[in-house]
Amino acid sequence: MIPRYSLPEIADLFTDEARFQAWLDVEVLAVEAWARIGVIPDADARTIRERASFDVAAVHERERVTDHDVAAFVDVVQESVGPPAGTWVHYGLTSSDVVDTALSLQLVRAADQILAVLASLESAIAARAREFRDTPMVGRTHGIHAEPTTFGNKLALWAMQVHRDRERLAKAREGIAVGKLSGAVGTYSNIDPRVEQYVCEQLGLQPVPATQVIARDRHAELMYACASIGATVESFAVEVRHLQRTEVREAEEPFRAGQKGSSAMPHKRNPIKSEQLSGLARVLRGNLQAALEDVALWHERDISHSSVERIILPDSLMLAYYVAVRFRTVIEGLRVYPDRMLENLDSSYGLVFSQPVLLGLVEAGMTRDDAYRVVQRNAMRAWDERRQFRELLREDPDVTNVLSDARLDACFDLKRALANVGHTFDALDALEST
């Protein structure tokens, strides 16, 4: 991942140093396991624990000779220990025993970082939802005014969606928190199953049956969780972008002192953060496609997945983390304009109350189709003539002969329209209490 989107707290998990350290942890634990069952002398296992080390540059230099990264790594580690103890390093293992188990360890640590930031994002959104719980705004479907809602209701639904992403990622984390040290085709032909059990226990992983590699549907599930986070954040970002449009201007991203929106037009305050997040979500979805392609390997394994995973796994985890952190700053600093929301709500001539009028006519005895035609006829006139919907209804005998002024006015009661918004917040409260 390019530095622009790499936050150090998660990027550091995927450096060469971190990857080789995870490999070393697996190698040393395997030696200790062999010693525990009496295959390797205890003194040699202790020596390996004390001396085993690597130098990243030395591994890369050795790989130019071996053309095999694990073999190069093992050579360097064995040299750091020295004979005779060093000869036990990598005993009974195949490369994927080390690489896949260590990779799981890295992925679990990264998933934990993302889970933590998702929790904080959910809390930030929920806090702002409660702040604007009763702030009325127009709801839009197909981009057109529909019925009143509140900005808090919108945000509460966002918080619940983030919660679902947390659950998805937690499940994917469980699926990837596995290890295997079962040899070339997974049959334990040259390694005792107790070695696998010990190593995985020490690393907090679950040993699983495997071929030479851990099945890649597990990794694909993790990539889906990351892509889902991206899609969730993108759906929020698209809404912010719409609300920030000049014609709408109901909310906008934070804009720092000294920030410039355009190099040419000083008046510009563009939703650049949200646009960035929309773009990065596309990368996450593209990486998911590649991860799904990696599931189908030849026989007990090939390495067609390896080159792909070196890119998509760290990149997707770093991007999922980045978009969550980035949107948290957006939501925490979001500027909200309740007066503009109310102004926009009123700008469609009261048409957002067409359904209560329809239902009022039905309750008064009119057939639904007849009532629909009466309401629609007046609604179209309101659009075309730019007149208040309520005034047109009061001039229509098909309405006034059925509904009293008081009953008609009740159809346009904003408080009535929003009376049950609290139901959404009851669901949010229940979710956060679990």
**CA nearest 171: which of 132, 130, 214, 115?**
115
β-pair partners for 161: none
How far apart, in whole angstroms, are the C-alpha atoms of residue 275 and residue 280?
A: 9
C-alpha distances (whole Å) from 257 to each of 227, 250, 261, 269 are 33, 21, 11, 12
Give the rounded distance of the alpha carbon of 162 from its chain centre.
Answer: 8
How far apart, in whole angstroms, are the C-alpha atoms of residue 312 and residue 338?
A: 42
β-pair partners for 136: 150
Q: DSSP letters along 55-91, please?
A: -HHHHHHHHHHHS-HHHHHHHHHHHHH-TTGGGGTTT
How far apart, in whole angstroms, are the C-alpha atoms of residue 299 and residue 320?
A: 32
How far apart, in whole angstroms, are the C-alpha atoms of residue 278 and residue 267?
A: 24
How far apart, in whole angstroms, are the C-alpha atoms of residue 389 and residue 344?
A: 15
Residue 302 tokens, joined:
């090939």
Going by DSSP bridges, is the β-strand pair 178-179/206-207 parallel, antiparallel, or unpaired? parallel
Token pair 């990696």 is found at 294
Instruction: Give catalytic residue positions.
Output: 142, 262
How far apart, in whole angstroms, are the C-alpha atoms of residue 160 and residue 170?
A: 15
Read off φ and ψ for residue 16, nearest 5 degrees. Answer: -60, -40
For residues 103 and 111, the answer to whether their CB atoms sit within 8 Å is no
Token pair 């890119």 is found at 311
- Plot region of 248 (φ>0 → left; ψ -120 to 50 → alpha; else → beta): alpha
**Cβ-based neighbours of 253, under 8 Å, separated by 6 or more:** 240, 244, 269, 271, 272, 273, 274, 330, 333, 334, 335
Query: What amino acid occupies position 394?
Result: R
For residues 101 and 203, the answer to whether their CB atoms sit within 8 Å is yes
